Amino acid sequence: MTKLFATRLALVATMMLLASPAISAQQDDGAPPPSKPGKPINAGEVLSGELNALKVRDVKNAGKRVATYQITSEPRRLPPPNGLCNLETGPETFQLVPSGDAQAAQLKTFAGKEISVKVDEVACASDPGQMSEAVITKWSLIKKQ
């Protein structure tokens, strides 16, 4: 019984000796340089990225499932006082809030595709249930030529 224990102990010790140089080599590489903040986005500017459609439960409407749309883009800084939304580089996901059924139907046709929107109002996400880092409450779709 002790011979089995000694064999296992030697095996574990050997594995530790082989693994420790690899671990220290990974740590010696150092962390990647800190990312610099994204370029700012202000009212009237264009935001481009892939449109994703999500199904979330509406907290205010008895848990009814509602379609939510978000654009995934490069990191962007928001105008003050929002700034970087407590992120190192600024938000990369922007929830689009449709102002009515017409805008919601318009977004539905572009799900999974690259789109561009003119941003009129944007802020950091703050309400529970928001699936993005920032929320665009007023926007208009830019038609691609």
Contacts 24+ apart (CB under 8 A), 57-63: 57/129, 58/129, 59/128, 59/129
CATH number of the domain residue 66 falls in: 2.40.50
Residue-level pLDDT at 77: 87
Q: What pLDDT sits at residue 145?
A: 43
Q: How many domains does the chain have?
A: 1
pLDDT in tens, the chain (145 residues): 566 655 665 555 555 655 545 444 445 455 455 567 788 888 899 999 999 988 777 666 667 777 789 999 999 888 877 777 878 888 899 989 888 888 888 898 898 999 999 999 988 888 766 778 888 889 999 976 4
Strand partners for 134: 94, 124
Q: Which residues span the domain enclosing 82?
A: 39-142
